[in-house]
Structure 1
Amino acid sequence: MNLEEQIYIRKSCRNYSDGAVDMDLIHKFMESAKSLNNEINCYWEILTRDKVAVRNSWSAPYYLAIYSEKKDNYLTNIGFIFQQLCLCLQSMGIGSCWVGLDVPKRKNSEFVIAIAFGMSRDISRDLSEFKRKELSEISDFEDEKLIPAQLAPSAINSQPWYFKHSNVGFDVYQIKHNILKRQILKRWNPIDVGIALAHMYVANKHSFEFEIKDNENIKGYSYIGSIKI
């Protein structure tokens, strides 16, 4: 299974069939998924459509409900871990989509977000179909090493990540939105940054390292962490 290849073709899926999914493969993959912070306890469960309060105009046969302790960077950690799963699902012909509105009908206080998934024929696209910011807009200077992050999905395609070159990789920042956008995206954008970091990890699996340094924010952006690739 080559997850890196999936970065360049994946699309968020909103069109599903009711075909069966091998849930054992999901459980097996999650045993090896990498975390940004092993000290944050997060867990998940698979729900069928009838167990979910669906608030979108479309639905999927299955949902992965994600739960986590509310510690520093827990949202970024969730995006990082579970985007790896989305790429894995894609490689098996299974579509997926992060959903911020749909919630378990019976949830606890640690619920964070869900991922809709299921069999689908509408799970891939050509590279030319991606609508993303230019590399020069997400970094201090254009660098093709950042293409995996550039192609990452995000809430309403806000693409809130920014990468500043360092001696060994990049310092990673999240955009500071205006008041209106903050009200809509403040919960989801840290997850989005984690998703972009997952793409950087998958594309640089043998060298990727993440740490949080004593870095200051820069104008218009908040510091999230630093990566070595």
Structure 2
Amino acid sequence: MEIKENIGKDLPVKGLWKVEAPYYLVFYSEEKDGWMMNAGYVLEPVLLYMTGKGLGTCYLGSTRIPGPEPAGMKTAVAVAFGYPRSLLYRDPATAKRLPLKELCVFKDEIGEPLKNILKAVRLAPSAMNTQPWRFIVYHDRIYIFSCREFLPSQTMVAMRDLSMGIMLSHLSIAAEELWLNLKIEVEEQMVKKSYKSGAYVATAFLLE
């Protein structure tokens, strides 16, 4: 990760979704399988911490900040940040998010701990607010799927994967805050199956 200063607004930021900001956080990674999902998973706790310190943050998809990249790495994503001119927080009830009944298929009655985890996951930010995640929920586990892209360009797939990583980070953080033992793993038998509307990502197990 690297911080780029732009207080003088002279940094030639390039990209489709660029935001003027006094600072940019640039996340570099090796370009491997799952690299964008990993970027979202690693970055989101950092951004939540920054928000807690009063900083406004914004993920920038397909944006490039000038400067050399570390050897063997590429820019995965950049984040604009700085102190906001208006209110930093808003009422979660005003967030434009799909209701849980549209995100989840509930196979069992679930307890309050799992409900609270799903509420936190529902509020996770995503590229263009696409909310590309769906869940099949049992009392002790959550099967996690990503939605298939209508126009599966390289950019849109990358932004979907970044969003999925952000969501998985919210899942882990919520479980930790609730003192729940949650294990996320990829089940090979699920990977091998074909799904009509998306792809299997992982299973979250709620352990005793």
Q: Is 1:195 aligned to residue 152 of structure 2?
A: no
Match of 1:212? 186
Tell me the amino acid that sits aligned with residue 184 of structure 2: F
Over aligned residues, Cα RMSD in angstroms? Answer: 2.1
Find the partner of 2:28 among 51, 55, 67.
67
Instruction: Call closer, same or farther: CA 1:217–1:201 in 2, change over 3 Å.
Output: farther
Identity %: 28
Pairing of 1:8-23 with structure 2 (within 5 A):
none
Taking the aligned partners of 1:99 and 1:90, their CA distance within structure 2 comes to 16
Could you list the per-position Cα deviations for residues 140-199 of structure 1 after superposition, in whole angstroms to 9, with x for gaps in the alignment? 129733111111111111100111225632121100022x3x225211001101111111
Residue ranges of structure 1 left out of the alignment (5+ in a row): 1-43
Taking the aligned partners of 1:45 and 1:68, their CA distance within structure 2 comes to 12
Q: Is 1:47 aligned to residue 4 of structure 2?
A: yes
Taking the aligned partners of 1:210 and 1:103, their CA distance within structure 2 comes to 32
Instruction: Call closer, same or farther: CA 1:141–1:149 in 2, change over 3 Å.
Output: same
What is the TM-score normalised by the length of structure 2? 0.80
Tell me the amino acid that sits aligned with residue 20 of structure 2: S
Q: Is 1:134 aligned to residue 99 of structure 2?
A: yes
Which segment drifts farther, 81-90 or 162-171? 162-171
Q: Is 1:186 aligned to residue 157 of structure 2?
A: yes
Q: Look up the SS of the partner of 2:105 in the other structure.
A: coil
Could you list the per-position Cα deviations for residues 40-99 of structure 1 after superposition, in whole angstroms to 9, with x for gaps in the alignment? xxxx11111244514446411111101111222221111111111111111111110100
Match of 1:225? 202
Tell me the amino acid that sits aligned with residue 106 of structure 1: G
**Highest CA radius of gyration, 1 or 2?**
2
Tell me the amino acid that sits aligned with residue 86 of structure 1: L
- Number of residue pairs matched by the alignment: 184
Instruction: Call closer, same or farther: CA 1:106–1:57 in 2, change over 3 Å.
Output: closer
Deviation at 1:113, TM superposition (A): 0.7
